[in-house]
Structure 1
Amino acid sequence: MKTLQVVGYKNSGKTTLTSRWICLLKNKGLSVAVLKHHGHGGQPAMPNPSTDTMQFFGSGADVSVVAGGGAVQILLNEEPEFAELKVLAAIGKPDILLIEGYKKEQGEKVVLLRDAGDWESLSGLDGIQLVIGCPEITAVSSHIESAQNVEQLDSWLLDWIEKEDGNETV
C-alpha cells in the first residue's frame, strides 16, 4: 500500500484535490482509502441521533459498529492515535491510502499553499514530495504553480505511484 498525505491550511484545496485523485485512481482500477483529519473543532457530523447505532453510542458504548447493504459505519468514543487510524483506514487493504491533513505526522506529503505565508510555516514539514500553489516559491524540487493545472497534478500522482518507495505496511 502506498500512502500520501495532502496537507495545507483551511481552504487551500485539500478536499478538492483528494476527491479528484480518488476518482483518477479508481478509474485506473486501484482501490483507495482515505483518512481525514477533522480540523474544524469539535466532533465530525454524527448520524441521526434516533438510529440504533447512535443510541448505543450515546449510552456509552466504546465502539458502535453497524453493517448492512455493503457498507459499515464505525463510531468510537475516543480518538485513536494516528498509527491506529491508519490501520482502521487500511482495513480493506487498499492500493493507495490518501490522508488529508495530519501535517505534523511522518509520511510523504503534497503541500497546498494559498500564499507565501503558508510556505513560511509549512516548508519545514517532513517528507514533502510536491508543493502546489504560490508561483514565487522556487526552492523546491517538485512544484506545480497552480492547483488548476489538473493534467500536471494527475501526471505527478501517477508518476509517484510508479516509484518504488512510498510503500507502507500498516
Structure 2
Amino acid sequence: MKRLHIIGRKNNGKTTLVVDLLRELATRGLRVGSIKHTHHDHQLDVPGKDSHRHQQAGAAVVGVLSRSMSALFIPTHDEMGASDRYEILAPAYRECDLVLVEGDVETPAPKIEVWRAAMGSPPIAGQVDGVLALVTDDQSSLDLPSLPRSDIAGLADWILRYLIS
C-alpha cells in the first residue's frame, strides 16, 4: 500500500487538503483511498446496534453491508505496532494507486505537512522525522521543499513524481 500522510497541527487545513488532493487525483483517473488517523480512542460502531452486539459477543471481525456502503470493524490492540494497524487495512486498498492518510506524525511512512503561519505555531516538521515537504503559501525557515498550497495540480504532480514513479 503506497501511503502518503498529510500531517499538520489542528486547524492548519489537513482535511481540506486531503479532500482537494482526492478530488484532483481522482479526476486524473487514479484510484485513491483515504484513511483518517486519530490518536483518540473512538468507538467506531454504535453501542446497542446489532453489529456492536456481534463485536461484544466475541466476533473477530464484524462487517456491515448495505446497498450504498460497506464497513469492517477490526479490533486493534495496544501491543500492535503502527505498521501492523495499516497492514490490517491493506487488503481493502489493494486496488488503489495511492492512499492518503490524514494524520499520524509518528509513522515512518512518507509525510508532507500542511502549515499556515496565521495559526501562530511553528511547523511540526522541525520536530518529527520523515517529513518530505511543507505545503504552505507562507514563508518558512525550515530546510524543506516548500510546495504552494494554492497549487493543487502542482502538488498532485509532485506527489505522483515522488510516490508513483
Are 2:122 and 1:118 aligned?
Answer: yes
Gap change, CA 1:34 and 1:89, over 3 Å in 2: farther
Unaligned runs of 5+ residues in structure 1 are none
Give me the TM-score of the superposition, normalised by structure 2: 0.78
The CA distance in 2 between the partners of 1:126 and 1:47, in whole Å, is: 33
Q: Is the 8 A contact 1:62 1:78 kept in 2?
A: no
Q: Equivalent residue of 1:138, what SS?
A: coil
TM-score, normalization by structure 1: 0.76
Instruction: Give the distance between the partners of 1:65 and 1:11, measured in 2 at CA.
Output: 33
Q: Which runs of 5+ in 2 are unaligned?
A: none
Counterpart in the other structure of 1:133: 136
**Residue type matched to 2:122 in 1?**
D
Instruction: Give the match for residue 85 of structure 1.
Output: 85
Identical pairs, percent:
20
Question: Equivalences for 1:1-170 in 2 at 5 Å?
Answer: 1-39=1-39, 41-44=40-43, 46-69=44-67, 71-79=69-77, 80-91=80-91, 92-93=93-94, 94-115=96-117, 117-119=121-123, 121-133=124-136, 135-144=138-147, 147=149, 149=150, 152-163=151-162, 166=163
Q: Could you tell me how far 1:70 is from its partner in structure 2?
A: 6.0
Alignment size in residue pairs: 158
Judging changes above 3 Å, is the alpha-carbon distance between structure 1 residues 88 and 71 closer, same or farther for their aligned structure 2 residues?
farther
